[in-house]
Amino acid sequence: MLKVGVLVSGGGTNLQAVLDAVDSGEIKNAEIKVVISNNQNAYALERARDHGIDALCISPKDYESRDLFHDELLSRIDEYHLDLIVLAGFLVTIPERMILKYKNRIINIHPSLIPSFCGTGYFGLKVHEAALARGVKITGATVHYVDEGTDTGPIILQKAVEVKEGDTPGDLQKRVMEEAEWIILPQAIALIAKEQEEKA
């Protein structure tokens, strides 16, 4: 059974897509063990509790230094002996030592077709604003492994989404979530769970 932890900062719509996929059997042989947010008001924590999943808030604001925050984040994650860490809209930079410790076991969902509109500073609505400013006709989402760079790790899955005339950044964000993110993030976890089962 693939033990999964999800890190999220906001509402947790990607988390919900994953929970739904576990419930429906689309994701087999995987279990969400913990959901961690840096935001105590994140609705994602409610979604976790409603599913009987441990929900933790670990915020940098509660620690005197970023190092102390990283110590706590890593020690709490270690307690769950996770096989996979999913960054589902986690707006805090994770420490390099965590990336190295969990090498090839951390994945991220990014709301563009990497290598377009990614890297430092590209998150949330900023990604969609940049896509519209550039005038692209196709955008989408990417699930990739996390390495030491920003959005530079190996790509697992991508899905394209049409940019429509008159789109606002909010319109585009909603369409990319509904037509790409909520589909390929569960698919990626299902693939990883299947690979782990086949190796077992």
Q: Is the CB of residue 151 less than 8 Å from the CB of residue 114? A: yes
Q: Which residue has the tokens 């076991």?
A: 105
Q: Is position 51 annotated as part of the catalytic site?
A: no
Of the residues 51, 70, 110, 128, only one is catalytic, namely 110
DSSP codes joined into one string, 65-118: SHHHHHHHHHHHHHHTT-SEEEESS--SPPPHHHHHHTTT-EEEEESS-TTTT-
Establish how many alpha carbons lie within 13 A of residue 27's alpha carbon, considering only the half-sphere containing its beta carbon. 28
Task: Count Cβ atoms below 10 Å from residue 135 Cβ, excluding itself.
Answer: 7
Q: Is the CB of residue 118 less than 8 Å from the CB of residue 154? A: no
Query: Which of the residues are catalytic?
Result: 110
